[in-house]
Amino acid sequence: MEAFKGKYERTSEEKYEEFLKAIGVNMLLRKAATVSSPKIEVTEVGGTWTIKTSTTLKNMELKFKIGEEFEETTADGRQVSSMVTFEDGKIVTVQKAKKDGEKSTKSIREMKGADEMIYTLTVDGVADLVCVQKFKRI
């Protein structure tokens, strides 16, 4: 996981708006999210990892310990039970929706070389939708 530490900015995205629509984000927020250029910072202190995402609209922070379930409210307002694991060199996050009718998601962060992070997002029950975002180290 050490390879993930650092700061990144998004260089491209595919199907991000479709992903946001699938999890129930309204059109106005989807449009705002798709034009933003998020920056990510990955840090770790004493076994607690933090992934900070900053945009012009919103700052979000995901704090976790590998393999420990925790409760969170996602940036789009869903109440979820989350678990982050490290599998085959990838950071895997599973967010299980707690309310009926809300969507569960899975995200995978992986490094391509030393300076590019690939962030893949999927929605449970929507097999043909894969959102891919690419970030470069800054």
Q: Is the pTM of this model over 0.85?
A: yes
| pLDDT tens digit sequence for 32-85 | 888 888 999 999 999 999 999 998 878 899 999 999 999 999 888 899 999 999
- Burial (CB count <10 Å: 0-12, 13-18, 19+), residue 66: middle
Give the chain's radius of gyration (CA, Å): 14
